[in-house]
Amino acid sequence: MGRYVLRRTGQAALALLGVSIVVFALIHLVPGDPVRTALGTRFDQELYDALIARAGLDQPLLLQYWNWLTGALTGDLGVSFRTGQPVTSALLARLPATMLLAFAALFVGLLIALPAGIVSAVRQGKPIDYAASGFAQIGVSVPDFWFGLLLILVFARTLGWLPPSGYVSPLEDPVEAIRRLILPAVTAGVVTGAILTRFVRSSVLEAMSAEHVRLARAKGMPNRYILRHHVLRNAWIPIVTITGLQLATLLGGIVVVEVVFAWNGLGRFALDSVVRRDYPSLQGAVLLIAVIFLVINLIVDLLYARLDPRITAS
């Protein structure tokens, strides 16, 4: 177990180093002078010089990287080309919104996928299985932003039950926060739920076909008991893994849903930075999201190892 944790953590650290290089390279791959491009028509020599100096763009490349990396490690991601404000504080201000949406979407996804996946596996080949599999097939093919638009069209514009967009912090107004959370969470949650449904179904089916389940039946254990202790208990392991990976995907990939619902999260921040050519902000956002993504993946793998006694022991 110890060696596995060490090896897996080492891998993640290596990937993280690679990620940092790619993110650092972003600003240097932009054709032309990124600061000049960013300032555009607002060009002002004084501001220009200050930004160049602050970003260290006048230094040798390796030194720049070193400074940027050590800065990032201590929480300093530079200042925005647009606002001159520290990128880190801007990111931290957006993080809660993204986390809230991602967890809410995962919750909706699991609410759909666990019953749908388990029932369709247990009733394999029955109408309910076809219904669940059909839902999953539709769900993985539907573009989430379109689904979001349709939800807005129906529930916000036509029926007027829910607000169409905007993020409100649950600390300020819990009721309004939840009302605004519902549509985006359902949008991202249905797609997540479809992906998870397929996975839960196949995991349960695989667990059901195991030889030890046959022995449990031959032992005379009741079906309900077998489902709980010999099928689901075993299927949990891959399901927990994939759920963790989905959370990582949601945290990193929820950009589109954030845009549909004008949700002030990290994804929308990253997109705005692209449009405004605010490269330090983009770098910061990409780095933060990639780090979250990697760390969750790492946690998932380690959790997997804990859940499976075979790995724990070896």
Q: Considering only residues 2, 11, 81, 128, which one is a binding residue for other proteins as defined by CB under 8 A? A: 11
| Residue 263 beta carbon to other proteins: minimum distance, rounded to whole angstroms | 14
If one asks whether residue 61 binds other proteins (CB under 8 A), the answer comes out as: no
x/- binding map, residues 25-44, to other proteins, per CB under 8 A? -x--xx--------------
Angle ∠(220,225,229) on CA atoms, nearest 5: 115
x/- binding map, residues 174-213, to other proteins, per CB under 8 A? ------------------x--x---x-xxx-xx-xxxxx-
Q: Which stretch binds other proteins (CB under 8 A): 66-74, 91-99, 149-157, 170-178?
A: 149-157
**Beta-bridge mates of residue 79:** 86
If one asks whether residue 10 binds other proteins (CB under 8 A), the answer comes out as: no
Nearer CB in complex with other proteins: 63/150:
150
Collapse the DSSP code of 132 into the 3-class scheme (helix H, G, I; strand E, B; otherwise coil) and give the result. Answer: helix
| Residue 150 beta carbon to other proteins: minimum distance, rounded to whole angstroms | 7
User: Are 294 and 19 in contact, with CB atoms under 8 Å apart?
Assistant: yes
Q: With the CA atoms of 171, 84, 57 and 279 taken in that order, what torsion angle do they form, in degrees rounded to the nearest 10?
A: 50
Contacts of 287 (CB under 8 A, 6+ apart): 19, 20, 23, 72, 77
State the CB neighbour count (10 A cutoff) for residue 223.
11
If one asks whether residue 111 binds other proteins (CB under 8 A), the answer comes out as: no
Tokens standing for 19?
Answer: 């990620």
Which DSSP category does 249 fall into? Answer: H
If one asks whether residue 81 binds other proteins (CB under 8 A), the answer comes out as: no
| Residue 83 beta carbon to other proteins: minimum distance, rounded to whole angstroms | 18
The number of residues that bind other proteins (CB under 8 A) is 99
Residue 126 Rama label (left phi>0; alpha psi -120 to 50; beta): beta
- Which residues inside 232-291 make contact with other proteins, applying CB under 8 A? 233-234, 237-238, 241-242, 245-246, 248-249, 251-253, 255-256, 259-260, 267, 270-271, 273-275, 277, 279, 282, 286, 289-290
Collapse the DSSP code of 278 into the 3-class scheme (helix H, G, I; strand E, B; otherwise coil) and give the result. Answer: coil
Tokens standing for 244?
Answer: 């963790």
Q: Considering only residues 19, 69, 95, 99, which one is a binding residue for other proteins as defined by CB under 8 A? A: 19
